[in-house]
């Protein structure tokens, strides 16, 4: 384990299983260490390591995980990735194919007429690929390769000069391949220079831990999960993984994908690297090779791991299926904006026209297809809010489907709004495009669903209420706090209340302060905010004229629980506790009625909260 985590993952069943696997295969001695590169014969046949790296950057390491060895053929997919970046897919395909050869790694398998190597994972294709890396000199070509592989490993890598020289002295078969490639103009300059660069790239020294990180970087779409550095553009990762899947294990490629089911690559020094896209990178190292030239232990270990944890690629993870987390309307759950009784009644009547769908998990074709099917088979609402708070990722295809849906809905008069999506770049971009086609005044992206709901509710109220309720209260007599008092009693109460003006952006109330007063809003807009984990604030409520602020803490005599900020210049009336208390002796009737009104205001809030909570009893629109 990495030292940081040693203490806490002692109990991890994953670590325990890896150690058990390592113990068991330590006794497995089949295969022989490669000797055709003389220097490789010096490897200790008992070296054995297993490493797993996750796409969120955690590494499990067992055995000789820090033992250096040469990368050999495992360099091939990474150099192929670099050549793809330099040349693009189509140009590179004219030089090197992508068909499995079914031949040994060192076979001279070139296309009969054009001399094009069958794939970049056998030596012929790899040497041709190395020659396609852009550079003005062999040294520069090698340095670019070394830097690229280093980005995958997350550290600078060195060449094992002994192994390089050993292969360079003996690698006549690869030289023959180089000359053939030159003959067919697959290589155009000095082919021997390219072969030397290839020998050097094969002699780059890595550890089993490096292999796991390199694999995890491929699993993570080209972004190294340890360093956060991009090793290769994500667009090319699928090409690299494809050739690994079909050709990475030479003439065992078919058996490997059948039994293990992961794109992989092996090298004659005993390394094997396997990738579970989106999830995991695996590195296994043990120098004894089987007849195909693949590490015998590594093959067994990977087969077991794949069975043990269902890692086979064609055994896809569930998750595509429950993308609709919750569906409700504004009649079930409104915004936190405080509304008058008339407004609330209106929203209960018309709130069905504002529909919210909360999506979750990973949005890809299959999960999005269900959402799209569900939404397009129902009666269209006036507003559709797509809440992505619980969406973890979205691919370009899913973003495009939702964008098209929004466009088509808009053409039929449904406004589609997107919330909580700033972490989903493709979706944000799609909706920005959608927004740019919509009428200028419409805002379609909101940071929270609460904001979007408030916006939709305002639009509904504007249309449905011919004479909107006044935005200001002129007299205390209109306020809920004094309901049931006579005109003279209201006047007596008014006499002990003090007017207060709070400028936009300033605080009416600060969380933690003593609750020495109740504040009545007469004019303007104010919002209550509560801190939530992650250092952000969540809006609890928005108050307008007629609202009572701070009555809960006032009643409990507890500190203020939220901070209330003026969103516009706000006019209020403040009732101080000491003044209110003195009413108990001078005007017990007023005192009692005001208390009852405070209790009613609290009951009203509780009722709304209970009603809103009912939304979680709703079944999602679609399941399974
Ligand atoms: N450098 C080695 C060779 O070309 C790489 C082969 C391998 O790892 N399979 O022979």
CA distances from 357 to 67, 354, 407, 608 (A): 52, 10, 17, 20
Q: For residues 101-119, give the mean pLDDT.
A: 83
Q: How far is the CA of 198 from the centre of ligand 1 (A)?
A: 9
SS (H, E, C) 316-358: CCCCCCCCEEEEEECCCCCCCECCCHHHHHHHHHHHHHEEEEE
| Ligand 1 touching residue 294 (CB < 6 A) | no
Determine the residue of 37, 120, 273 to mutate for testing ligand 1's pocket, defined as the one with the most ligand atoms within 8 A of the Cβ atom: 37
By the 10 Å C-beta count (0-12 exposed, 13-18 middle, 19+ buried), 8 is classed as exposed
To which residue do tokens 């919509």 refer?
438
Whole-prediction pTM: 0.78
Question: How many whole angstroms from 72 Cα to the centroid of ligand 1?
Answer: 5
- Please check the confidence at residue 533 and state whether its pLDDT lies above 90: no
Q: Is the dihedral of CA 275, 309, 294, 15 positive or negative?
A: positive
pLDDT digits (tens, 9 = 90+) for 155-183: 999 999 999 999 999 999 999 999 999 99
Residue 224, C-beta contacts closer than 8 angstroms, at least 6 positions apart = 151, 152, 154, 213, 216, 217, 230, 231
Distance 425 CA to ligand 1 centre (A): 41
Q: What is the CATH number of domain 324-464?
A: 3.30.750.24
The 3-state DSSP class for residue 402 equals: helix
Q: Which two tokens stand for residue 589?
A: 């009737």
Question: For domain 13-308, which CATH number applies: 3.40.710.10, 1.10.1740.10, 1.10.645.10, 3.90.480.20?
Answer: 3.40.710.10
Cβ(273) to ligand 1 under 6 A?
Answer: no
Question: Would you list the domain boundaries of the chain?
Answer: 13-308, 324-464, 476-615
Question: What does the pLDDT read at residue 618?
Answer: 64
Q: Do 467 and 541 meet the contact criterion of CB atoms below 8 Å apart?
A: no
Q: Is the minimum distance from the CB of 267 to ligand 1 under 6 angstroms?
A: yes
Tell me, using a 6 A CB cutoff, whether residue 77 lines ligand 1: no
Is the Cβ–Cβ distance between 70 and 202 less than 8 Å?
yes
Q: Is 519 left (phi over 0), alpha (psi -120 to 50) or beta?
A: beta
More confident site: 115 or 302? 302
Which residue do the tokens 């209420």 mark? Answer: 465
Helix (H, G, I), strand (E, B) or coil at 416: strand
| Alpha helices per DSSP H over 39-104 | 75-87, 89-93
Average pLDDT over residues 238-263: 94
Instruction: Express each pLDDT in 427-466 by its tens digit.
Output: 998 888 878 877 655 668 898 999 999 999 999 998 888 7
> pLDDT tens digits for 214-249?
999 999 999 999 999 999 999 999 999 999 999 999
With respect to CATH, is domain 476-615 assigned 2.60.120.10?
yes
d(CA 368, CA 394): 9
> Which among 70, 75, 105 is the best mutation to test ligand 1's pocket, defined by most ligand atoms within 8 Å of the CB?
105
Nearest CA to ligand 1 atom 6: 73
The rounded Å distance from CA 422 to ligand 1 centre is: 46
Ligand 1 centroid distance, CA of 248 (Å):
12
105 lines ligand 1 (CB under 6 A): yes
| 198 Cα nearest atom in ligand 1 | 1
329 lines ligand 1 (CB under 6 A): no
Most informative mutation of 41, 109, 167 for ligand 1 (most atoms within 8 A of CB): 167
CA distance 550 to 519: 7
């Amino acid at each position: 384990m990495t030292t940081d985590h040693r203490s806490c993952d002692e109990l991890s069943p994953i670590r325990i299983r890896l150690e058990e696997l390592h113990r068991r295969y330590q006794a497995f001695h089949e295969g022989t260490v490669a000797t055709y590169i003389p220097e490789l014969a010096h490897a200790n046949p008992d070296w054995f390591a297993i490493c797993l790296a996750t796409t969120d950057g955690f590494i499990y390491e067992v055995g000789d995980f820090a033992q250096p060895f040469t990368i050999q053929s495992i360099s091939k997919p990474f150099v192929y990735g670099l050549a793809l970046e330099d040349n693009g897919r189509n140009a590179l395909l004219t030089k090197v194919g992508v068909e499995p050869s079914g031949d040994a790694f060192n076979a001279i398998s070139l296309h009969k007429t054009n001399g094009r190597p069958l794939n970049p994972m056998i030596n012929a294709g790899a040497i041709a690929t190395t020659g396609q890396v852009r550079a003005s000199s062999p040294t520069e070509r090698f340095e670019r390769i070394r830097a690229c592989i280093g980005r995958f490993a997350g550290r600078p890598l060195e060449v094992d000069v002994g192994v390089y020289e050993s292969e360079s002295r003996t690698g006549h078969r690869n030289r023959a391949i180089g000359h053939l490639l030159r003959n067919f103009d697959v290589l155009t300059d000095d082919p021997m220079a390219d072969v030397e660069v290839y020998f050097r790239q094969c002699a780059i020294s890595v550890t089993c831990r490096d292999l796991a990180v390199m694999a995890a970087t491929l699993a993570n779409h080209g972004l190294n999960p340890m360093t956060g550095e991009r090793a290769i553009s994500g667009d090319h990762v699928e090409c690299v993984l494809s050739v690994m899947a079909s050709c990475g294990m030479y003439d065992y490629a078919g058996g490997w994908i059948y039994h293990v089911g992961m794109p992989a690559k092996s090298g004659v020094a005993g390394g094997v690297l396997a990738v579970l896209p989106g999830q995991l990178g695996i590195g296994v190292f043990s120098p004894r090779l089987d007849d195909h030239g693949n590490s015998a232990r590594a093959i067994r270990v990977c087969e077991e791991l794949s069975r043990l944890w269902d890692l086979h690629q064609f055994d896809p993870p569930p998750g595509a299926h429950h993308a609709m987390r919750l569906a409700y309307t504004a009649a079930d759950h409104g915004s936190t904006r405080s509304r008058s009784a008339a407004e609330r009644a209106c929203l209960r009547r018309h709130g069905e026209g504002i529909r919210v769908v909360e999506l979750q998990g990973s949005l890809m074709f299959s999960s999005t297809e269900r959402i799209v099917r569900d939404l397009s088979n129902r009666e269209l609402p006036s507003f559709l809010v797509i809440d992505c708070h619980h969406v973890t990722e979205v691919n370009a295809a899913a973003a495009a489907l939702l964008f098209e849906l929004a466009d088509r809905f808009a053409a039929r008069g449904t406004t589609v709004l997107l919330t909580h999506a700033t972490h989903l770049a493709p979706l944000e971009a799609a909706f920005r495009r959608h927004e740019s086609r919509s009428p200028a005044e419409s805002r379609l992206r909101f940071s929270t669903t609460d904001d979007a709901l408030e916006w939709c509710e305002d639009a509904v109220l504007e249309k449905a209420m011919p004479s909107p309720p006044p935005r200001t209260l002129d007299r205390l007599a209109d306020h809920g706090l004094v309901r049931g008092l006579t005109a003279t009693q209201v006047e007596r109460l008014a006499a002990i209340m003090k007017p207060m003006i709070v400028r936009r952006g300033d605080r009416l109330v600060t969380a933690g302060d003593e609750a020495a007063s109740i504040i009545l809003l007469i004019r303007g807009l104010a919002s209550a905010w509560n801190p939530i984990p992650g250092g952000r604030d969540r809006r609890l409520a928005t108050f307008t004229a007629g609202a009572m602020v701070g009555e809960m803490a006032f009643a409990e005599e507890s500190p203020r629980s939220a901070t209330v900020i003026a969103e516009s210049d706000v006019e209020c009336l403040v009732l101080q506790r000491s003044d209110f208390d003195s009413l108990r002796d001078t005007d017990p009737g007023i005192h009692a009625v005001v208390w009852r009104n405070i209790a009613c205001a609290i009951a009203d809030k509780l009722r709304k909260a209970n009603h809103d909570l009912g939304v979680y009893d709703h079944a999602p629109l679609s399941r399974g």
